[in-house]
Structure 1
Amino acid sequence: MKNIRRALEGLYTLSAVLAALCLIAILALILIQMLARWTGEVFPGAPEYAGYAMAAASFLAFASALNKGAHIRVSIALNAAPSALRRWLEVWCFAVGSAIAWYFVWYAHRFVYWSWKFNDVSQGQDKTPLWIPQSLMLIGATIFAIALTDHLISLIVKGEHRITRDPEHPE
């Protein structure tokens, strides 16, 4: 079990690092586009690439944000519930969240597959095959679904999830 936990934590950390690299890529694209404008050159596709990196950064950061308690949760309602009912409400919330996340992964997988199958490309000047940025979204969504399922299993087996709370922003 410790190896699985270590692998999952490594996956969540890797996903957060990739999200941070996507943010750095957005910064670099903005700087390159500014330099291109100042020199009278054109950098075709820069806004599209920045958009792809923003979508990838968002989806890749979901699991890490969940583990750190950065997502908006239903904690106000859960804190108002009696302690005997609270655990079952948390299980229900994680179960519904996991089901929705896995449905999104299934749907996104089909979306990426058909974009690849039909060789769908962006409409901008870059002509990027859309399955490439969509794949990053799919990877991030899959890791997020794994994280939700991980917390659900932990809640069912151990009686508590593993979301850490930020001491500066208590519930």
Structure 2
Amino acid sequence: MTKLLSHLRALNEKLAIAAGLLLLLSVCVTLYDVIARPFGASLGGTDELSGYAMAIVASWGVSYALTGLAHVRIDIVRARGGSAVRAWFDAVSILSLAAVALAVAYRAWPVLEKSISNGSTANTTLETPLWIPQTLWMAGWVWFAVSAVAMAGAVCLFLITGRNDDIEEYAGSRGEA
């Protein structure tokens, strides 16, 4: 299990870099557009494209936050408890997060399905077929659900076998630095 979680963490780090590159590309395109406007060379639609980039980056970024132990928690009780108390709080936390991730991923499909069935396009000059950014957005939420469920399964296994240190490492809280 620890090997699986280590691979999951490494993969999510690579996906975070890809998301960061998408965000950087969005910034560069927007910067070019702002500089080019006075010269009549505006690209147009940069606000729309940057909105898509933000949605895609956010949906993929939550998986990195999950495996990087960056999700915010109020953990005053957890921090004062022993190893077993922290393990149980971490288990409840990851199980709750996995349930929410599954719900969000499940509810993302009707949004995409409706855009596909209606042939929806953006109400802008670009007329972007909405299924394109929505597919990438939904894929990020599905990956988050997969990551969260894998972590929840591992944490439950660690809890059953008394491996509290592994729970701390892979699903604990970083706390204040």
Q: Which residue does the alignment assign to 2:100?
A: 100
The reply to whether residue 44 of structure 1 matches residue 65 of structure 2 is no
Against the structure 1 CA distance between its residues 117 and 14, is the aligned structure 2 distance closer, same or farther, given a 3 Å change threshold? farther
Q: Which residue does the alignment assign to 1:14?
A: 14
Structure 1 residues 76-87: aligned runs within 5 Å? 76-81=76-81, 83-87=83-87
Q: Deviations over 1:86-134 (max 9, x none)?
A: 3333222211211111111111022112211111111121110111111
- 1-structure distance, mates of 2:21, 2:59: 13
Say whether the 8 Å CA contact 1:18–1:60 is kept in structure 2.
no
Larger mean Cα displacement after TM superposition, 54-63 or 8-17: 8-17
Against the structure 1 CA distance between its residues 122 and 91, is the aligned structure 2 distance closer, same or farther, given a 3 Å change threshold? same
How does the TM-score come out when normalised to structure 2?
Answer: 0.81
Q: Which residue does the alignment assign to 1:58?
A: 58
Q: Which residue does the alignment assign to 2:25?
A: 25
The reply to whether residue 35 of structure 1 matches residue 60 of structure 2 is no
Q: Which runs of 5+ in 2 are unaligned?
A: none
How does the TM-score come out when normalised to structure 1?
Answer: 0.84
Structure 1 vs Structure 2: percent identity of aligned residues? Answer: 25
RMSD across aligned C-alpha pairs, in angstroms?
2.5
Larger mean Cα displacement after TM superposition, 42-51 or 75-84: 75-84
- 2-structure distance, mates of 1:76, 1:134: 38
- 2-structure distance, mates of 1:8, 1:84: 25
- 2-structure distance, mates of 1:88, 1:70: 19
Q: Which runs of 5+ in 1 are unaligned?
A: none
Task: Show structure 1 runs of 4+ deviating over 6 A.
Answer: none
Alignment length (residue pairs) = 169
